[in-house]
Amino acid sequence: MSPPADNAPEIEGTVHAIVFHNEENGFTIMQVRDARGETTTVRGRIPAVVEGERVRATGQWKNDRRFGRQFEAGRIHALPPETPDGIRRFLASGLIDGIGPTYAGRIVEAFGIDTFRIIDTESQRLEEVAGIGKARRLRIKDSWKRQRSVRDIMIFLHAHGLSTARALRLYKNYGEEAVNILRADPYRLARDLPGVGFRTADEIARQMGQSPEAPRRLAAGILHILAEAAARHGHCALPREQLLADAGAILACEPSQLEIPLNHLLLETRVVAENNGTETLIFPSDLHEAESLVAQAILRLLAGPVTLPKIDPAALDWFERHHDLKLGAEQADAVIRATRHRFFVITGGPGVGKTTILKALLHILVAKKVQPVLCAPTGRAAQRLSESTGREAFTIHRALEYQPHTGFARNAHKPLAGDFFVIDEASMIDIRLMAALLSAIPPHGSVLLVGDVDQLPSVGPGGVLRDIIGSGVVAVAKLTEIYRQAASSRIVLAAHEINRGRYPSLETTPDSDFFFIERQGTEAITETIRHLITERIPSGFSLHPRDDIQVLTPMNRQSLGTRELNVTLQSALNPPAELKFEIERFGTTFRTGDKVIQTRNNYDKEIFNGDIGHIAEITAEPTSIHVTFDGQRHVRYEPGELDELQLAYAVTIHKSQGSEFPAVVIPLSSQHHIMLQRNLLYTAITRGKRLVLLVGEKRALELAVRNSDSIHRHSGLEAKLRQTLPNPANQEG
């Protein structure tokens, strides 16, 4: 809508009812009552509005065939309500935590038109109102302060064409100074706010008068490319030439124009340059520091004397007698070698006996008075580790005693308590988390990493397990023998065949746990998946369609990506119902009962990227969403925080790392050709415990099996480990 002329008609009144409000673009239809008591329908854009508020709208009158005379507003300004009734309706809207319709009436009855001033400057007087004690009064005061700041942010976002639904996220990031911070540096929007890209922040900066050649803009573009490389592709660094070329593309300038801004960033140590012998890599300073910390910690451990008691064949015999089993040659060798190094790695695929090795190590070492500490990157992985070993296991964050506002309590100055540190699912650990963990290992500690190096690398930056193994300076037990019990599983056999680049057998038997269902075209694949999850698998295998079956797909986009599949599966498994609450945010409709996944780490809530749960309840006044994770942790989300959640009937294979599911369904289509890689398919198949079904085109399966060219991650850890070690530490003690 065009801005109104200076002499355009204007109306002012109190918002009597909100007919429609779109939080993404601010478009609103509302009933406004003027001082004479006449009600007018007003249509226009306003970032936020509640009943009882006054508005001043400028625009033009129009006659609608269906709805009669309406006011089309080019500009709408919200004004504080002035009448007792307006103030009561405003407070009763649910905007202020701790005040519903009942308390709104009591407060306005007590303070009348002075209500806002009382809340603002004399909030202790609220305790004069029946039912309001100190705790509720503090809730009201804090919520009042927050809603004012959030509204200021909404107005800032709205003025620059951004979704006002992000306002709460910005308030949580920056507090009351959010608008001032964004005015000073709008590029922080791209750095700190998911869903807002560099181009959007750059346009806001342009509107504020930022010159295209401004050094701050060019530096922001360089930093953005490095941040995107880490977040989207897992790079810890980029080759200098690639960095300048990519930054030049988004900044619409020649790479040569970025040499000076890059040099300034280097001088300010906001980025670090490192030559690996073939090219110069540019690192964000925090990732370079994390790599250096990891390398130094590993080398420090390798340089020290062995501290674990050695395990000999007699100890293995004792363990075998107590557990009525016989260790294989690879397993026995790994157990013995693991105690002869301060830092040791065990890697191998499914069914090769990693769990049995851990049981033997822990059983024997505990008998020798060694104190073990077991941890894993995710809650699900830690739970599985605990179940398989019979010993308590922690997430790495919990072991390091993470505090939301201060970071890890356990570090080099306050190391972990223990002797033998076992870290499972090590392929999932990114460089930042590994740096924090190794920094907290006590001087006498020994470390064992356990993981499958052939799986996908971590979601976060780095290829830590692969780089550690590739350096050649750390002792490694690579397990290849599949043991008898696992060898009866077609899932295990198919995974190993694919990992070797061989096409798996697709023959089925009545007791098979691995199936390929051939379908051509996305519609046929989607319909087959829907039928499998809603009918075939629940009835044939007695599995719950929401809790036990997981669709894993290579991508988010396209018709067989997570977005489209989630819409289809939500409709089939959790359709709308009259008594079922739902809320729409960030393009997704969330309903009570929906399966959801956390999409990034939230340390305040102690919920992490990849955690899967379900919506137990959606409440009103104020609106909140309650999600249950792992059947026991209950987490509350406000509507503005729902950009952290996605539907999880279908998730990407990357997001499934570290998890296992009773049944896994994997669509395979040539539309995913860019993502069809051997380690991606291998990772997906190894997520299934009882049942794996591939649905799609044989051509896509063949392409994935043949394609071993996984995306290379730029990092410097392997080189750092090689360059700093005077003598190979991989020799047996």
The alpha carbon torsion through 420, 426, 432, 434 (nearest 10 deg) reads: 20
pLDDT band at 333, cuts 50/70/90? very high
CA distance 335 to 364: 10
pLDDT of residue 165: 64
Answer for the pair 441, 416: CB distance below 8 angstroms, yes or no: yes
Answer for the pair 652, 640: CB distance below 8 angstroms, yes or no: no
Provide CB contacts within 8 A for 9, sequence distance 6+: 58, 59, 60, 61, 71
Lowest mean pLDDT among 217-226, 285-294, 580-589: 580-589
375-404 pLDDT tens trace = 999 888 898 899 999 999 999 999 999 887
Answer for the pair 53, 38: CB distance below 8 angstroms, yes or no: no
* Average pLDDT over every residue of 602-624: 83
The single-letter code of the amino acid at 3 is P
Rg of the chain in Å (alpha carbons): 30
Most confident range (mean pLDDT) of 344-353, 429-438, 449-458, 664-673 is: 429-438
CA distance 596 to 550: 12
Strands (E), 541-687: 549-553, 582-585, 588-591, 595-598, 612-619, 624-629, 633-637, 645-647, 650-652, 661-668
* Average pLDDT over every residue of 203-207: 84
**Longest alpha-carbon distance in the chain:** 97
Answer for the pair 237, 258: CB distance below 8 angstroms, yes or no: no
**Cα 643–645–648 angle (5° rounding)?**
140
pLDDT of residue 6: 56
The H helix count followed by the E strand count for the chain is: 27, 28
148-159 pLDDT tens trace = 777 777 777 766
Lowest mean pLDDT among 112-126, 296-310, 537-551, 628-642: 628-642
pLDDT of residue 342: 96
